[in-house]
Amino acid sequence: MLDALKSEFHSHTMADETTTVTVSTETWKRLTLRKDPGDSFDDVITELLDEVEEGDED
């Protein structure tokens, strides 16, 4: 029961911690091409940022 409550709370909290980012239609298309089934745009952007940050460390 406690795990279910934690999961519900986490999901609710994550939904509250979002914002809207406006991108061009071309950028939206490019991001969409990088999505795997079940991925969100947040997943795609996070992965891209991680790759850039890893490259900065070199």
Domain ranges of the chain: 24-58
Cα separation, 35 vs 45, in Å, equals 10
Structure tokens, 30 = 């490019």
**In a 3-state reduction of DSSP, which class is residue 37?**
coil
- Residue 14: what pLDDT? 57
- Residue 5: what pLDDT? 45
Q: What is the pTM of this model?
A: 0.65
Rg (CA), the chain: 15
Alpha-carbon 20 to chain mean position: 12
pLDDT tens for the 58 residues of the chain, in order? 445 544 454 444 555 788 999 999 999 999 999 999 999 999 999 999 999 999 887 6
